[in-house]
Structure 1
Amino acid sequence: MTDTQLQDTNLDELGPVDFFVIEFPADKANFTGEMAEELTKLVDAGTIRVVDAIILTKDETGVVDAMELADLGDLGDLVSIEGQLAELLAEEDVEHLAVAMEPGSIAGVFVYENLWAAPFASAARRAGGQLVANGRIPIQAIIASLEADEALEATGA
């Protein structure tokens, strides 16, 4: 989806848009391996649409540099999504995203539309509703909660 394609899209039909940042030590970054294959499967299945993707590097002094996917050279499986990107992230967005990164690391930033939720989101908007908050529950918190429940059951409480 290019900038023009995104602008031509009926905004009432868009699904929720999220992002994730995947950080690696600089010497361990692999954006063209299994991770890229799984992301491409989500796109091909129509689960998500990647609308922007960039690579951030943060040197040991904290200086951040942003690169487009094409700057990686061999994109592997990511080549299929690279031509559809709308390049939505601004310099200010990059600075905010890089705050969480450790010095000497590299990160992939992916902004994606949740196509699976688009019909529901569109119906909610037509009904006069609007999304006012969303969030994620970290998997570690879910595991801890389940383990706590199991411990309570084991003690009979």
Structure 2
Amino acid sequence: MPDTEVHGPIDYVLLEFTGNKLTGRAADELVSLVERGIVHVYDVLVVGKEADGSIYMVDLAESSGQAGEFAVLDGARTGILAEDDLREVADAMQPGTLAALIVYENTWAIPFVAAALESGGQMIAGGRIPAQDVMEVLDAMEALESTS
């Protein structure tokens, strides 16, 4: 095992929701991933963008219900996300939406990373293909196969 503490890859995801309230199962599923040890959530930032383009942060601890089930992630604040991240999130958002920016560690990968380091390996490149892109390609391939 390496002398330094081993971590899994850290990713972020920005989820945009229409309206001014987070609803649905996304937060429940994220909590399930944490409980099963698949990911560790470092930071959660919920941002709203009004129809006029003005932005605001949603306090996850506030009882207004605007954060929906994401309120359970209130304690996820390590400081990885900074004020300039708020502006970048807002720039990516459509007016009249709420977005949740989630920074998480892929804890499932820690044993793999440790084994690679022990074997003298080091990551020299990495990347991520967005889920939407994968689904679009698979749908297109399926459509092509069905016409053959």
Give the residue type in structure 2 aligned to 1:61: D
Cα offsets for 1:112-136 (capped at 9, x unmatched): 1111112212333442412522112
Give the residue type in structure 1 aligned to 2:26: M
Q: Taking structure 1 as reference, are residues 80 and 60 closer, same or farther at Cα in structure 2, changes over 3 Å only?
A: closer
| SS of aligned partner of 1:42 | helix
Q: Is the 8 A contact 2:48 2:99 kept in 1?
A: yes
TM-score for both structures, normalised by structure 1:
0.73
> How is 1:17-96 mapped onto 2 (pairs within 5 angstroms)?
17-30=10-23, 33-71=24-62, 78=70, 81-96=73-88
Deviation of 1:49 (Å): 0.7
Q: Distance in 2 between matches of 1:65 and 1:22?
A: 16
Q: Which residue is 1:99 aligned to? A: 91
Q: Is the 8 A contact 1:58 1:65 kept in 2?
A: yes
Q: Distance in 1 between matches of 2:137 and 2:123?
A: 28
Identity of aligned residues (%): 31
Q: Which residue is 1:3 aligned to? A: none
Deviation of 1:68 (Å): 4.1
Q: Distance in 1 between matches of 2:33 and 2:52?
A: 36
The reply on whether 1:142 has 2:138 as its aligned counterpart is yes
Q: Which residue is 1:129 aligned to? A: 122
Matched residue count: 141
TM-score for both structures, normalised by structure 2:
0.77
Q: Distance in 2 between matches of 1:68 and 1:48?
A: 23
Q: Is the 8 A contact 1:40 1:77 kept in 2?
A: no
Q: Taking structure 1 as reference, are residues 81 and 25 closer, same or farther at Cα in structure 2, changes over 3 Å only?
A: closer
Q: Distance in 1 between matches of 2:20 and 2:83?
A: 25
Give the residue type in structure 2 aligned to 1:18: D
Unaligned 5+ segments in structure 2 are none
Q: Distance in 2 between matches of 1:14 and 1:103?
A: 36
Q: Is the 8 A contact 1:56 1:108 kept in 2?
A: yes
Q: Taking structure 1 as reference, are residues 69 and 114 closer, same or farther at Cα in structure 2, changes over 3 Å only?
A: same
CA RMSD for the aligned pairs?
2.6
Q: Distance in 1 between matches of 2:112 and 2:56?
A: 37
Q: Is the 8 A contact 2:21 2:68 kept in 1?
A: no
| SS of aligned partner of 1:20 | strand
